[in-house]
Structure 1
Amino acid sequence: MQLPRWWELGDPCAWTGQGRGTRRMSPATTGTFLLTGEISNDPITFNTNLMGYPDRPGWLRYIQRTPYSDGVLYGSPTAENVGKPTIIEITAYNRRTFETARHNLIINIMSAEDFPLPYQAEFFIKNMNVEEMLASEVLGDFLGAVKNVWQPERLNAINITSALDRGGRVPLPINDMKEGVYVMVGADVPFSSCLREVENPQNQLRCSQEMEPVITCDKKFRTQFYIDWCKISLVDKTKQVSTYQEVIRGEGILPDGGEYKPPSDSLKSRDYYTDFLITLAVPSAVALVLFLILAYIMCCRREGVEKRNMQTPDIQLVHHSAIQKSTKELRDMSKNREIAWPLSTLPVFHPVTGEIIPPLHTDSYESTNMPLMQTQQ
């Protein structure tokens, strides 16, 4: 299909070309393919998916910040995809003219056993986004700095992952903060002494205290890449013991167990009387015995008042009787006492004639029946 003028397929930085639209790669490398609209300034968006499926393979990622920026298709295939051609459908949409173009990208995945990279180191770069790191010149500068420190014969970028895919937080849009990117590189020689400095107890202690470790070769990266040395990971696959066990798959047919024989229709009767006694009668009998024992203790073994008085000294009984007698007398006196009515509640003037009424003696009236005012005569 002829591509429109506003769409250009960029060159990958880790794949070797076999004609336009066909690429070869191996699990030991990271592939990057640039989808760009540099010929035109129109806003262009891209949609990528595996042919015949609604989404891309699990190992392939795609990122495009804005319709005016380039789209980047990148990823590292796994060993399960070796020998299987992967066809990626790329659809481009011009948001100004509404033109649409489609292109198929064929990826041939080769085996990496001929070029083993047993020593792998993963770096975390703070001042880079994933699309910035995937640029060929930036990734080349980083691999050059690593090669200067490591001094290997062969060095490849195995995997590049955004920090957001590892559970990182989206940075605030201030001070040109970046998301961060993880870059895993592999080499054919053991790690250098500079990379081993991260494993020193002093540097491990500084990392646990959230302090920056002291690395002698950090100045070789500092000019362009700000590396978090506390998050570096060194993997030596030559010392790893393989625990993989080959699974022997059967034919999927269960062994023959003979002809099925259902139970007979004439079943023997079963007596459940013994089960009834065990499950119901025995617990009931035990509960009844416990109830009788408790009733005997609570009702039949009471000491009584007479036994209590016999065991109590006479002086205590006299004191107790005197207290009860005094309490009873005080209660009787409180019931029979009379309270004199205050003079302010007694009538002073006759309600009809207005004459002055002499105060009445309180002894001639019952305190409970004395009215506040005399009735009208």
Structure 2
Amino acid sequence: MPSRLRYGILLCIMAITFIFVHVEYGHAAYFIEYIYDNAGNLIERRRTLDDTGPTGTVTINAMAAYTNSVDVTLNLTCSDNVSGCLKMQFSNDDIAYSSPETYSTTKAWTLLSGDGTKVVYVKFMDGVGNWSSAFNDTIILDKILPTGWISINGGATYTNSTNVTLILTCNDPLSGCSQMQFANEGAAFSPPEDYSTTKAWTLTAGDGTKTVYAKYKDRAGNWSIAYSDTIVIETQTPTGTITINRGATYTNSANVTLILTCNDTLSGCSQMRFSNDNITYSTPESYAATKAWTLTTGSGTKSVYVKFKDVAGNWSNPFSDTIILNSSCSNSSVRIGTTPYTTLQSAYNAASNGNVIKVQGVMLTENLTVNRNVTVTLEGGYDCGFTSNYGNVTAIKGSITTTVGGGTLTIKNFILSQ
């Protein structure tokens, strides 16, 4: 009986613990625990008190500024030098928190829906149950696609080269535009590149309509729909003609009228320029069907050259015509026998039955009315001295009108045009 009592008393003594608490700056810094071991020795143990919550950080999607998905990854750090980090919990509003879960350095999380700035909060718990204050990070949710525009060569309709410049516009109100990529019709898109307002681009080869597509990407990762523009490639040069004084063989004046035609199947004719020697050309001017021009001085055969330009920018090869300039010719252009007349009409009015009205091979601008009961021959193409008209013609800009009872008019070596 006594031995059992002593053993029980010894057990009670072994269970007694003495604690000395050391306080620093108003907080319990550590305590000393005195306890007897099984051999009855008094053991001193110093233990640190932990009454402070952990510290930590949270970053969303590795510190990304934008996202286009509500599903994100949280990167977490937690520090507690005493009892370590044990639990964590999360919130989108710092009010309603998720259930505590084992601490980890990453966490899949779902943001609140709707575009705009989103905040995620986290709290950490240490090994003795202290919860930290809330740590947070922000990210902008942007699910709206960028909008944009593309123009080839500043909106030009035609080009004569596969090398073009793209003019680009991208708009994104939340995260802004970051990248772009391009494609020709029927081809894959180019690798993404940094957004810019211009881009040098190469069209597919061959004449015809070409389409270029552009897509834009914002900083949240949203790609726009494809925007496009078209342009027509034309590499064929225009064709055309030039006629001096409506095809007349001669002129007594260096001041002539050029009659012009230009043909271009795709883009059409836009400009023309002229030369007397096929070396030095005049300043390009808008295409027209006629042009007042001055020949070089001095009698003789004169050539005039013209080049035509289409809307796509292609210049034609030169086209030319010739005329003989009689700069010293003082004879009237019209005569019957040796009698000169100033106009065809005055010569016709004076003509007798069987007369031949001779006309130099120049260009005349007048109308002739045939209303007399006489037989007259109208012969053109004569040189200044009226000695020969072989192979030559006179050009008339105007009309010849006949009336009932107007006799007979035979016309030779004339070109009539309106």
TM over 0.5: no
Report which of the two has the higher share of helix: 1
